[in-house]
């Protein structure tokens, strides 16, 4: 699945899509699993609770946010790839993180969940017919294509992994 055109998503998402290098979405998603796991597996349980400033998310909460967001973006892609034109609402990330209780979970479980969600996402996109990437729907009151959602998933991960490297580790 190739890179989306700028007309296929809200300009807000351009910051994520611009981080993604390459034009083969499933190859990108698969490559990110090994890169991210290499970094995440070096983080200890104690370090996973670190916040670089008061009131900022912990490392566990950042990873939990990535998991939740990937599920939501993939769900949107599933609906649109299956030609479901029902508009989908947006989501507010802060109440999701607050309600999840990520800090009370074992770091190793969160890392495993992240890996499984990403492998599932990759298999989902790999299984789509080529024409499904251009199918679109409305999410958060704006049109978006299936392939744009895939690249947003990849770019969103790159964005947050960069923040982890720069501010947390």
| Closest CA relative to residue 105, chosen from 49, 54, 164 | 49
Kindly report the CA angle at 26 between 38 and 97, in degrees rounded to 5? 60
Q: Is the pTM of this model over 0.75?
A: yes
Q: What is the pLDDT of residues 24-34, one digit of tens each?
A: 999 999 999 99
Structure tokens at 48: 């996973």
Q: What is the pLDDT of residues 79-125, one digit of tens each?
A: 999 999 999 999 999 999 999 999 999 999 999 999 999 999 999 99
Structure tokens at 101: 């209780």
Domain ranges of the chain: 6-168
For residue 105, count other CB atoms closer than 10 A to its CB: 15
CATH number of this structure's domain 6-168: 1.20.120.450
């Amino acid at each position: 699945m190739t890179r989306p055109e700028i007309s296929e998503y809200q300009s807000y998402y351009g910051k994520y899509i611009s981080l993604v290098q390459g034009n083969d979405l499933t190859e990108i998603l698969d490559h990110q699993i090994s890169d991210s796991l290499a970094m995440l597996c070096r983080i200890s349980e104690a370090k996973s609770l670190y916040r670089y400033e008061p009131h900022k998310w912990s490392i566990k909460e950042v990873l939990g946010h990535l998991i939740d967001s990937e599920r939501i973006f993939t769900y949107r892609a599933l609906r649109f790839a299956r030609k479901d034109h029902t508009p989908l609402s947006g989501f507010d990330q802060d109440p999701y993180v607050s309600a999840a209780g990520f800090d009370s979970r074992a770091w190793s479980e969160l890392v495993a969940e992240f890996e499984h969600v990403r492998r599932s996402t990759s298999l989902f996109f790999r299984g789509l017919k080529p024409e499904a990437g251009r199918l679109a729907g409305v999410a958060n009151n704006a049109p978006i294509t299936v392939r744009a959602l895939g690249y947003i998933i990849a770019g969103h991960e790159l964005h947050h992994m960069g923040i982890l490297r720069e501010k947390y580790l």
